[in-house]
Amino acid sequence: MKTIMVKASKTYPVFIDSNLICNAGTFIKDNVTPKPAKVALFCDDKVEPFYADVVEKSLKDSGFETYRFIFKNGESQKHMGTIIQMIEFLAQNDFTRKDLAVALGGGVTGDMTGFSAAIFKRGIRFVQIPTTLLAMVDSSVGGKTGCNLSAGKNLAGAFYQPELVICDTNGLETVDDKDFSCGLA
Ligand SMILES: NC(=O)c1ccc[n+]([C@@H]2O[C@H](COP(=O)([O-])OP(=O)(O)OC[C@H]3O[C@@H](n4cnc5c(N)ncnc54)[C@H](O)[C@@H]3O)[C@@H](O)[C@H]2O)c1
């Protein structure tokens, strides 16, 4: 496994290898301190059937209480309406500032989960599990989070760094050719 330490406003690891998401809970337990009690898994409806169960099982096996929020996939969903649903979901499930959000998906999921984590209760911790090549090599790292407004793309947002990034290269097997090539360009 390759580990890259990102030095931004805080320092955090990016883990890169195959077969990592089945151990997502262990990576989180070992790298997020103090340990969160609750974990909210944010995922779109295209990624969920491939990867959500395995990540959630790993989180439960590591002792986390898990909650799952699914939204429709695609750039058209990257707006304030979805962000509000995400933070309402955290509030309805009594998440505190000690708890954790996990983004499981492409850049849309990562940007919106990070932004929700940045603004909920003025900031809770979050973890990126990118599942597209673009998200693995670009959007999951660097802390740019946000969503689109009617006037244009990425007009609302915050700089907010994750606690860690888990890049499981097996996830790329299910990405279609168009989305895979987005990450190459
Ligand atoms: N924060 C940053 O620094 C940064 C940098 C570059 C791009 N971005 C943002 O990233 C977004 C684009 O990211 P993207 O291309 O990952 O888009 P995306 O998240 O919409 O994913 C593209 C499509 O692939 C599907 N998908 C994701 N992972 C999959 C998998 N493993 N198997 C099958 N299908 C999968 C998704 O459901 C979606 O339909 C844009 O909103 C862009 O603004 C952010």
Residues contacting ligand 1 via CB (< 6 Å): 44, 46-47, 50, 73-75, 78, 105-109, 111, 131-132, 134-135, 138-139, 142, 144, 154, 171, 174-175, 179, 182
The Å distance, Cα 75 to ligand 1 centre, comes to 8
pLDDT for 12 beyond 80: yes
Q: Ligand 1: which atom is nearest the Cα of residue 78?
A: 41
pLDDT for 82 beyond 80: yes
CB 110 within 8 A of CB 75: no
The Å distance, Cα 53 to ligand 1 centre, comes to 20
- Token pair recorded at residue 162: 């994750």
Q: Please tell me the residue having the least CA distance from ligand 1 atom 41.
A: 108
CA distance 161 to 180: 24
What share of the chain in percent tops pLDDT 90? 98
| Mean pLDDT along residues 125-129 | 98
| Mean pLDDT along residues 110-129 | 98
Predicted TM-score (pTM) of the model is: 0.98
| Mean pLDDT along residues 41-47 | 98
pLDDT for 157 beyond 80: yes
Rg (C-alpha) for the chain, rounded Å, is 15
Strands 11-17 and 165-168: parallel
pLDDT for 185 beyond 90: no
Strands 165-168 and 100-105: unpaired
pLDDT for 117 beyond 80: yes
| Mean pLDDT along residues 149-156 | 98
Angstrom CA distances, 12 to 15, 33, 50, 106, 140, stand at: 10, 12, 27, 20, 12
The Å distance, Cα 112 to ligand 1 centre, comes to 11
Ligand 1 pocket test: which of 108, 177, 180 has the largest number of ligand atoms within 8 Å of its C-beta? Answer: 108
Of 133, 139, 134, whose CA–CA distance to 170 is shortest?
A: 133
CA distance 153 to 40: 26
